[in-house]
Amino acid sequence: MYNKAISYSGKSLYRKCPKAFKSAYIDGVRDDSPKPAAERGTMIHDLLEKFFKGEVSYPDHVALKPWRRFMEQLTLKQPKPEGELAVDINWKPVAFDSPDAFFRGKYDLSFTERGVVDLLDWKTGKIYPEHEHQGECYVALTDEAIGYNVSMVYIDKYDEVHRYFHNARDRLKLIDNIHKEITDIRNDEEFKATPSENACKWCVLSWRNGGTCTDAR
């Protein structure tokens, strides 16, 4: 049984294929080869983190230039950058690295106005439907509030911000759903493969990529 903290990325991988989840999170088999797109995304996130911490002036990066006014206006909200959130199995807040952590996640920026929590996440590259669920995970991990605004800011698509609002009742439903999903992951004893053309294309387990999974499409 898996008894470590699970994040959105782990939960997302399990949704795609339990066998791939087991390989990455239990067996420790991961593709650690450098990926230019991921390295670029990490660099942009680091630049924005330093900017909102007041460590540097606004970054002179070609992808960030169109967003300068947007980002500078956010500084007026006195936001908190790079927040780490974690809860135990009873959904009580714990330290991010606590051995009791049941579910955890990191957001890129947050601030609160009139009882409503705003949570922002920087995205580089493509727009994916599952990003909305990632935002729901942030809401479930955040303290009780009147409401929650989640914004996915697509850096490479100037002026593309996908916003989602959730009220306090929504949060309780999200907590119930996510708690059940993680419990199912923890209780899984088989971790069967659920092959799909899109997921298998990049999976290190796939026989097409030199792996041993013959279920892969």
How is residue 101 written in tokens? 């952590």
- The whole-number average pLDDT for the span 6-13 is 96
Q: Tell me whether residue 203 is in a domain.
A: no
d(CA 198, CA 151): 26
d(CA 139, CA 155): 22
- The whole-number average pLDDT for the span 113-117 is 97
Q: Tell me whether residue 200 is in a domain.
A: no
Q: Tell me whether residue 196 is in a domain.
A: no
Which domain, by its residues, includes 154?
8-187
Q: Domain with 58 in it: what CATH number?
A: 3.90.320
The tally of domains found in the chain comes to 1
Q: Tell me whether residue 1 is in a domain.
A: no
- Give the confidence band of 215 by pLDDT, cuts at 50, 70, 90: confident
Global model pTM greater than 0.75 = yes
Q: Tell me whether residue 113 is in a domain.
A: yes
pLDDT at 209: 83
Q: Tell me whether residue 195 is in a domain.
A: no
